Amino acid sequence: MIYIDKNKVKRPANLDSKITKDRRKEIIKANKFLKGAKYNKRYKTADVKKTLEKLYNNKCAYCETNIERWDVEHFRPKSLYPWLAYSWDNLLLACPTCNGHKSNHFETINEKAKLETHDLEIIHNLSEKYNKKENNKFVHPELEKNIESKIVFDQDGVISSEDERIQYTIKICKLDRDKLNIERKKQVLDNYNKYVMNAYLMFENDDKNFKKAVKAINKTFIEQANLNENNFIAFRKFAVKNFII
Ligand SMILES: [Zn+2]
């Protein structure tokens, strides 16, 4: 997980179209998210998808995997908060695995928010207000500026945190699943070690050039960790700071 700044993009126009507003009204009237394509289509219109793809660099909001197939994920599940089904700050990009694990999980310490009349005027910006009110356990990657500093990895790519809310998010989305740990290690640390080993073999009796080669490898890995289109940025940054330099 990394912090995502949604202010970088414009809210997709379809979320404010008359047709979306009408569907929202019907949902609010029914007091539940309604079944059928005409309701599902509204939160995944082409402009919503395109904007999320750009904002998230085609990566899952939770596991940071680069994905071809992804879902428009509702941070607050639409089954529990039907009026937020088309709210821009409630729509994230997630891989089918994380989305599947998260499902309708959304534990809160305080009582869950209910729709108030005033909320309709700020329907696209309710996450912050609701987060404060509910003290929800799940982390919203667009509202946690310091998220990366609270995540820890070991040399096997296993993720953990001292922060209770991040712990809960790791647990629910299974961000410590074997496949992810292995991929993080393989694509970052194993790859780094391979380059260093090659340099060692190439400059076995030439300490000066070996050091020079490692310096160049380090530089490349630092650059890679700052390229947001790369997967596993949180791990790359952590690895550079703690295992590489
Ligand atoms: Zn994921």
The confidence score (pLDDT) of residue 40 equals: 96
The confidence score (pLDDT) of residue 22 equals: 98
Residue 105 Cα, ligand 1 centroid: separation in angstroms? 15
Residue 92 Cα, ligand 1 centroid: separation in angstroms? 11
- Stretches in the chain below the pLDDT threshold 50: none
Q: What residues have their beta carbon closer than 5 A to ion ligand 1?
A: 60, 62-63, 95, 98
The confidence score (pLDDT) of residue 201 equals: 95
Residue 70 Cα, ligand 1 centroid: separation in angstroms? 9
The confidence score (pLDDT) of residue 67 equals: 85
210 phi and psi angles, rounded to 5 deg? -65, -45
Is the pTM for the entire model greater than 0.85? yes
Residue 54 Cα, ligand 1 centroid: separation in angstroms? 16
* Positive or negative torsion for Cα 120, 121, 123, 127: negative
Query: Which residue do the tokens 């356990």 mark?
Result: 137
Residue 4 Cα, ligand 1 centroid: separation in angstroms? 15
The confidence score (pLDDT) of residue 208 equals: 96
Residue 61 Cα, ligand 1 centroid: separation in angstroms? 7
Alpha-helical segments (H) within 60-173: 96-102, 127-134, 164-173
The confidence score (pLDDT) of residue 65 equals: 96
